[in-house]
Amino acid sequence: METFAKPFTRQEPIPEEAIAAAVNVLRSGALHRYGASPSRVSALEEVFAAQTGAAHALAVASGGYAMGCALRALGVGPGDPVLTNGWTLAPVPGAIAAVGARPVLVEVTEDLVIDLDDLAAKADRAKVLMLSHMRGHIADMPALMAICDAHGIAVIEDCAHTMGAAWEGRPSGRWGAIGCFSCQTYKHVNSGEGGLIVTDDADLAAKMILLSGSYMLYPRNGTAPPDEVFARHKGMMPNVSGRMDELRAAILLPQLRDLATQAERWNDRYRALEAGFRDAPGLSVIPRPQAEAYVGSSIQLLADDPARLPAFVEACGARGVEWKWFGAKQAAGFTSAHRHWEYVEAQALPRTDAVLARLIDLRVPLTFDLADCAMIARITGEEAARHLV
């Protein structure tokens, strides 16, 4: 019986160009976010703004910091309701709770995106939507923005899983008021931890730059708005130091230039797995809309019978294939459900719960090749035949 031996958490090495750049930063001693001239942080902001087509970009300490910064810039504070997906990673409602606001959870569909009917039904409950493109699945963005625009809802996009993705050719993060990205090890670029923010709104950009600890050095930001914009907000925004340091920016610059190539490599593996899983009994692949350009760094399946999933997941794990189940009673690693977020008021999400009970999830690291994907598909199919039918 085949057993898969490669770890699902092993990432590719940092590119040699990035390593050399990091060594140069270390030798200079100028690691502070405003400590180098020329600045790699500012260069990173310029590159990412150009890459996404945004007027302004800000490099920050983490994706979680990016979301908190965006919420504060939009004026969200204690007690304010904020809409967000009922299925997402814990740091998304965590960012809302961390500013004292109240997450209002919206149902998700079997396509693993926010339920637009439920969003419309709850649209009068909040003025901000923290939209999570969870596991890289993008909703119908023109339809979503029509709902939000009609109700005066500002949209923050959580793009932790969609850096390099798009809907109808428009990059993820460029539909709402603010887009937030993660550069954590298991995302599409790797600086260990880190984040990026984009916006076209000069006032929001100025607020977020001030929030990130500019100490009146804000003109050094790579895409800073004019000084008169900062004049409207200086002294009003608290310093919540969090702009990215020079070391992480040095590591990220070469990776951003290779993002399109890396995205295609991920999609080669995703498509191979997707094809292999199509015939697995008791399991269904998630359809990808034609309008969506995705980056397949993970893959999800839905089971016909959730009661059979624990035995299936355990059997696959014994053979080295690490499926994660969102229906488990306890949160495990990077897999959790809304019932596990005790900092969020319990809310009834029957449609979401029905989806999560059937939902399994698998990392697709670039350290796997197509032969690895074929073996994973074979093992999954064999164990599905044993446990899911």
**What is the per-residue pLDDT across 110-159, written as a single tens digit (0 to 9) for each?**
999 999 999 999 999 999 999 999 999 999 999 999 999 999 999 999 99
pLDDT(258) > 80: yes
Q: Give the model's pLDDT for residue 333.
A: 76
How far is the CA of 325 from the CAs of 127, 198, 332, in angstroms?
33, 33, 9
Collapsed DSSP state (helix, strand, coil) of residue 178: strand
pLDDT(17) > 90: yes
- At 177, the pLDDT band (50, 70, 90 cuts) reads very high
* Phi, psi at 244, each rounded to 5°: -60, 150
Tokens of 89: 């990673």
Neighbours of 239 (CB within 10 A): 11
Q: Give the model's pLDDT for residue 329.
A: 85
Tell me which amino acid residue 108 is.
Answer: V
Average pLDDT over residues 267-289: 97
Strand ranges inside 183-310, DSSP E: 195-199, 283-285, 292-293, 298-303
Q: Give the model's pLDDT for residue 108.
A: 98
d(CA 170, CA 250): 27
Q: Give the model's pLDDT for residue 84.
A: 98
Judge whether 98 and 130 are in contact, CB under 8 Å.
no
Share of residues in the chain with pLDDT > 70 (%): 100
Average pLDDT over residues 229-235: 95
pLDDT(360) > 80: yes
Q: Give the model's pLDDT for residue 335.
A: 86
pLDDT in tens, 209-226: 999 999 999 999 999 999
Range from 20-29, 35-44, 199-208, 330-339 carrying the lowest mean pLDDT:
330-339
Collapsed DSSP state (helix, strand, coil) of residue 351: helix
Tokens of 104: 């209002």
Strand ranges inside 164-258, DSSP E: 166-167, 170-171, 178-182, 195-199
The helix or strand, by DSSP H or E, that contains position 156, with its residue range, turns out to be strand 154-158
Neighbours of 260 (CB within 10 A): 12
Q: Report the mean per-residue pLDDT for the chain.
A: 97
178: which strand partners? 156
pLDDT in tens, 283-339: 999 999 999 999 999 999 999 999 999 999 999 999 999 999 999 888 887 788 999
Tokens of 91: 């740091």
